[in-house]
Amino acid sequence: MNRWGWLGLALLGAVLVPAWLGGSELLPRLKTFDPELLLGLLGMIVLCWVINAMRLRLLLGQHGARLGVLRSVGVIMATEFAICTTPGGSGGPVTLMALLARNHIGPARSGAVFAMDQLNDLLFFFCAMLAISGYALFHSLGRSQESMLLGSALLLCAALALVVVLLRYRRAVLRFNGRLLRRLSVTPQRRRRWARKVLHFIDALAQTWQLPKRTLALVFSLTCVHWSLRFSVLYLVLQGLGAQLSWIPSFLVQMLSLSAGQFSLLPGGAGAAELTSASLLSPLVGSSTAAAAIVIWRAITYYFYLLAGGPVFVCLLARPLLERWRRQAG
């Protein structure tokens, strides 16, 4: 089955989970949601795209001047569309590298920018976990919230440990990769080519680390603003549905649900994210409210990415490829 078939199945599962959870009460709950609040939440996502475009240009350093403001926003929208339509978001870095290559930015540099962006995200979640853990020391959390906090902390620590191991033992990882490619009967010429690409990537990542400290601090500040906005969506949706749930448990629900979606390797985590959030939210706010909140939350943070990012993806990436193939065929 091709990528689009998997995406269709994932979207079907994503629709069925809240429909089964909410039952006949789902549509009446959805009708009570304020349309103006919905527009405001969509505006928050657009603001997130603008913030991420600023992060991209800052991380590119002097190469960022090659990207205009609108172009950089388009690159972000197309990249996040690719993330939402590929297993585990694997299409994201490939799309980013292809789009930046059109502005004469090499794959090593664009790959390093993507990696640095992901490291900033991990650092934000680490700081958020520390802040929530500090809050939990002086405030009593419910049993379910404590379980969510523990699960989130374990996932985050595992991700950080993996990053540290890869950075600390990169030479050993490179040697292991070389032995693995040799056992897979990859030709020496091809192995050397892959080794050069990895070394270029490491060099570009080191150069990105050497950006001015003020620039790196600004990138991290923008990262904090982006994720604070993004992870406030579910909280505001629940408030709009009349549920009284604080920001911290809504943050933990989103973190665990999106992590489950990543591990499921389904496009955009569709189905897995809905199922996980349903199991976590239902005991806190009730089945019908949880179902309505999941539908609206995913519509804003997933389906909107597909609807808005799809045309941009086609315009920036697919259409130039089709035109080139047409010229070659002619």
pLDDT category, 101, cuts 50, 70, 90?
Answer: confident
Domain map of the chain by residue range?
36-168+213-329
Whether residue 100 contacts residue 108, with contact meaning beta carbons closer than 8 Å, is answered with no
Residue 240 carries which DSSP code?
H
10-24, 180-194, 200-214 — most confident range? 200-214
Q: What is d(CA 203, CA 111) in angstroms, rounded to the nearest whole number?
A: 11
Q: How crowded is residue 104: how many other Cβ atoms within 10 Å of its Cβ? A: 8
Q: What is d(CA 171, CA 198) in angstroms, rounded to the nearest whole number?
A: 11
**pLDDT tens sequence across 39-76:** 999 999 999 999 999 999 999 887 777 788 889 999 99
166-170, 199-203, 227-231 — most confident range? 227-231
Residue 87 carries which DSSP code?
B
Question: What is the SS3 assignment for 107?
Answer: helix
Residue 38, pLDDT score: 94
Q: Is residue 121 classed exposed, middle or buried when 0-12, 13-18 and 19+ CB atoms within 10 A define those classes?
A: middle
Residue 226, pLDDT score: 95
* DSSP for 41-83, written as a single string: HHHHHHHHHHHHHHHHHHHTGGGGGGS-HHHHHHHHHHHHHHH
> How much is the mean pLDDT over the chain?
81
| Token pair of 275 as six digits | 């199922």
Residue 219, pLDDT score: 93
237: which residues sit within 8 A by CB, 6+ positions away? 33, 41, 293, 296, 297, 300
**pLDDT tens sequence across 143-182:** 666 676 677 677 777 777 777 776 676 677 667 666 766 7
Q: Is residue 294 classed exposed, middle or buried when 0-12, 13-18 and 19+ CB atoms within 10 A define those classes?
A: buried
Mean pLDDT of 75-93: 88
Task: Give 306 or 139, the one with higher predicted confidence.
Answer: 306
Q: How crowded is residue 262: how many other Cβ atoms within 10 Å of its Cβ? A: 18
